Amino acid sequence: MLHLADSLHIEDETELQGGWRDLADVLNAGADRVILYGPPGTGKTYAALHYGTLGVPSERLICTEDLTTADVTGCWIPVGEGRWSWLEGPAIRSWRLGSRLVVDEVDRASGDVLSLLLAVTDTDGSAQWRHPSTADVVTPHDDFSVIMTTNIERLSELPVALRDRFPIAIRIDRAHPASVMRLSSDLRGPALNGSLGDEDRRISLRTFYAFDQLRRSLGAQRAASLLFAEQQATAFLDSLVISNLRP
């Protein structure tokens, strides 16, 4: 069994709640295809890159309309004197080395890349790729795993066949406990709750990090005024005071 607490930089996995608890459980149980979805700035990509990877560096694909199939599996590049060399792409490298492949913002991938992802993320036994120069057949290493991330809330917007390759989808709606340890102590509780409550006014980890940094030299009022609209700045500062009054 993987002991995620070490890679999560937390004392005890039982501290985890909600989607983070589910992620720890499924990775501990050996799941190798997971979708993490939900609001921005909760630590989905960070978790996908680092958790349960046993220290083997992960490969990351950031899907945009401009990402091409060559960026996924590889392409020929000129190496001078009319010669060409095959540059292996992150997906095949990850297959070969048995590392984690992180497919970020998967909903933004173009049709071609989505089709290729069906092959790259296919279940063991079905997945294979032929090297264009050696014709060697490459299949995924036993330790290969994929985590896809997205901000879409309705996973039915993903192609059915891609979704089917990922039976486990976990909604992450709060910051990871380890991520808030980078913040000054008075910000940790609010950051963990995504303070200011409702979904529309959730404050992402990135905003908390920026607030913490700016306030060191500019003071809390000025930092809040630079990061939020007027009313939200006041509400944010008030909620910070209130949350730190609580025992």
Convert the chain into a string of H (helix), E (strand) and C (coil): CCCHHHHHCCCCHHHCCHHHHHHHHHHHCCCCEEEEECCCCCCHHHHHHHCCCCCCCCEEEECCCCCCHHHHHEEEEEEECCEEEEEECHHHHHHHHCCEEEEECHHHCCHHHHHHHHHHCCCCCCCCEECCCCCCEECCCCCCEEEEEECCCCHHHCCHHHHHCCCEEEECCCCCHHHHCCCCHHHHHHHHHCCCCCHHHCCCHHHHHHHHHHHHHHCHHHHHHHHCCHHHHHHHHHHHHHHHHCC
Q: State yes or no: residue 151 binds ligand ATP (CB under 6 A).
A: yes
Look at residue 94 and give the partner it binds from Mg ion, ligand ATP, none, a contact being a CB closer than 5 to 8 Å depending on partner kind: none
Structure tokens at 31: 């799941």
* Residue of 32, 36, 38, 45 that binds Mg ion (CB under 5 A): 45
Candidate list 44, 100, 188, 215; residue touching ligand ATP; CB under 6 A: 44
Residue whose structure tokens are 């004197």: 81
Of 45 and 58, which CB lies nearer to ligand ATP in the complex structure?
45
| Residue 30 interacts with, from Mg ion, ligand ATP, none (CB under 5-8 Å by kind) | none
Candidate list 179, 191, 228, 236; residue touching ligand ATP; CB under 6 A? 179
Given 30, 70, 112, 182, the residue binding ligand ATP (CB under 6 A): 182
Binder of residue 176, out of Mg ion, ligand ATP, none (CB less than 5 to 8 A by kind): ligand ATP
Is position 188 an interface residue for ligand ATP (rule: CB under 6 A)?
no
Q: Considering just the CA atoms, what is the radius of gyration of the chain in Å?
A: 21
The residue range among 107-115, 131-139, 175-183, 190-198 that interacts with ligand ATP, by the rule CB under 6 A, is 175-183
10 binds, among Mg ion, ligand ATP, none (CB under 5 to 8 A by kind): none
Residue 154 CB, nearest distance to ligand ATP (Å)? 16
- Near ligand ATP by CB under 6 A, which window of 26-34, 43-51, 83-91, 235-243? 43-51
Residues forming the site for ligand ATP (CB under 6 A): 40-46, 149, 151, 176, 178-179, 182, 205-206
Residues forming the site for Mg ion (CB under 5 A): 45
